Amino acid sequence: MKSKKEIRQLIWDLLEEKNVVTFPRPVRGRIPNFVGANVAAEKLDELALWRKARMVKSNPDAPQRRVRENALRHGKTVYMAVPRLREEKCFLKIDPKKIPNVNQASSIKGAFRFGENVFPDEMEKVDVIIVGSVAVNKQGAKVGKGGGFSDLEYVIAREFGIVDENTPTLTTVHPLQFVDYEIPMDEHDVPIGYVVTPRGVIKTDNSYIKPKEIDWSIIGDKIKEIPVLQKLKNRE
């Protein structure tokens, strides 16, 4: 079985070789901004759970910008994590009723301009989670860009009751990122429930259990850099 690092390099190289990525480049070290990302974002409307969602937690990466824009345009509140969770109020709340321009607010810069920093206990329960991926398979296993922050955001949100086992997880990717081989998954990795490509929606087998709590054994020095982790550890 390929390691996560090997899968990342394989997919980044493949997308570059096929010239199906766009700005920002180079793609290595990033969630790939794939050609067709905006089309994939529109395909989300095929999912009733997306249409009904009122509160959305989303990654901040470029390929999911249209997803965030569409969410705001349809009256959904969007939560985005502050990069590397470095602030005590580590999420941004983007309320569509309080922004003059949804296109601007859907960008990272715009989210900081129009959004409100909130502590997790100020957040409402999330209806759906949008995740950025480098690769994903039919079993729901995924590989991110390697920082581990997406999975950490999930367990933090779970600690505060913002999400639970039944909160759907979605990702949008290029078809080349949807792979037919095994992807290693650890207990702290969050699986994907639905994969959306420009060709349509794929429901995964959802073969993995979502993490229920923070695994403090793998946190290491992150606790010194992330105020919300310090608060949770003190609460324990």
pLDDT on residue 129: 98
Q: How many domains does the chain have?
A: 1
The pTM for the full model equals 0.95
What band does 134 get if pLDDT is binned at 50, 70 and 90?
Answer: very high
* H or E, element range at 181: none
What band does 211 get if pLDDT is binned at 50, 70 and 90?
Answer: very high
The mean pLDDT value of the chain amounts to: 95
Q: For 59-112, write each residue's pLDDT tens digit.
A: 999 999 999 999 999 999 999 999 899 999 999 999 999 999 999 999 999 999
pLDDT at 124 over 80: yes
Q: For 165-205, write each residue's pLDDT tens digit.
A: 999 999 999 999 999 999 999 999 999 999 999 999 999 99
Where helices occur in 85-146 by DSSP H, the ranges are: 102-105, 108-114
Beta-bridged to residue 135, according to DSSP, are: 143
**Cis before 26? omega within 30:** yes
Which has more confidence, 233 or 91?
Answer: 91
Average pLDDT for residues 11-35, to the nearest whole number? 96
Whichever domain contains 221, its CATH number is 3.40.50.10420
Q: Which amino acid is at 159?
A: E
pLDDT on residue 131: 97
Contact 190, 211 (CB under 8 A): yes
pLDDT on residue 175: 98
pLDDT at 18 over 80: yes
Average pLDDT for residues 48-68, to the nearest whole number? 97
Q: Which letter, b or e, does each residue of 169-204 get, where b requires 16 or more Cβ atoms within 10 Å of its Cβ? A: bbbbbbebbbbeeebebeebbbbbbbbbbbeebeeb
Average pLDDT for residues 15-44, to the nearest whole number? 96
- Identify the domain containing residue 185 by its residue range: 4-235
Average pLDDT for residues 21-26, to the nearest whole number? 93
The residue to which tokens 């080349």 are assigned: 176
Our measurement of the distance from residue 193's CA atom to the centroid of its chain's CA atoms, rounded to an integer in Å, reads 12
Contact 210, 189 (CB under 8 A): no
**Cis before 24? omega within 30:** yes
Residues comprising the chain, all counted: 236
Euclidean distance between CA atoms 66 and 192, whole angstroms: 19
What band does 235 get if pLDDT is binned at 50, 70 and 90?
Answer: confident
pLDDT on residue 1: 87
